[in-house]
Structure 1
Amino acid sequence: MRVKILLFLFFVTASIVQAQNAVLLPGKWVFKDVLDKSKMNEQGLKMLQSDIINKMTFTFIENGKFEAYCMGQQMAGTWVLAFDGKKIVLTTKKLGISELTILELTQTRLGLQLGLGKFLMARKTN
């Protein structure tokens, strides 16, 4: 009986997180910072300032499509939230499937992890 109750609570919690993230995620997000700069060298930090901060964007559209802009290149494809609402699965023709882990998601902030990199994005309001 306890196992059934625990499983039920897990699925309810996962469904609530997934639904909340599905509502908060759509919109345009702009890259603002790296969450762990201590692992970057000086050259990487300079590139970050000149090419990525306030220039890299992700736009998640409610219909499951996304557009991204990074280092002068446009990218487009589809996105879907994983069942637990903690991962975004991106699919593009060029790159195939990529997975982003959601570290934080509020109305104005989106923390993502891609591989070893951890990034902070802010919602663009206009």
Structure 2
Amino acid sequence: MSSLSSGIRYRFGSTNPDRGLDCSAFVGYLFKEAVGEDLPRTAKEISDMGKHVGLNDMEPGDLVFFGKGKRHVSHVGIYVGGKKFIHASRKHGAVYESGLNEPYWQKHFSGARRLTTTLPRS
């Protein structure tokens, strides 16, 4: 799809937007800016938050999760509509927009969640 001009670079394990963010830190950073609440640190931990949303019921702002092998959830992005999502991409080294219909993401899709400001666990 395309690289976004957010100025945020990808950096594995980093939680500092000036140095770069990994996928879960990127989602956590935006959530903190928008809602004022912290999310857990890893994509797996975030995937336990909120409410499950079906693929056809997703709305912009829902979180999409991906995984492979033993790590069922290892990546997270934010759904933006039109079967697209944004995420901090290791491959592209920056925040990037990708399509859920791309073969790689279809193969590794593991679900979507809708967070609320009270962050109920389910």
Structure of higher CA gyration radius: 1
TM-score, normalising length: structure 2: 0.29
TM-score, normalising length: structure 1: 0.29
| Larger strand fraction of residues | 1
| Larger helix fraction of residues | 1
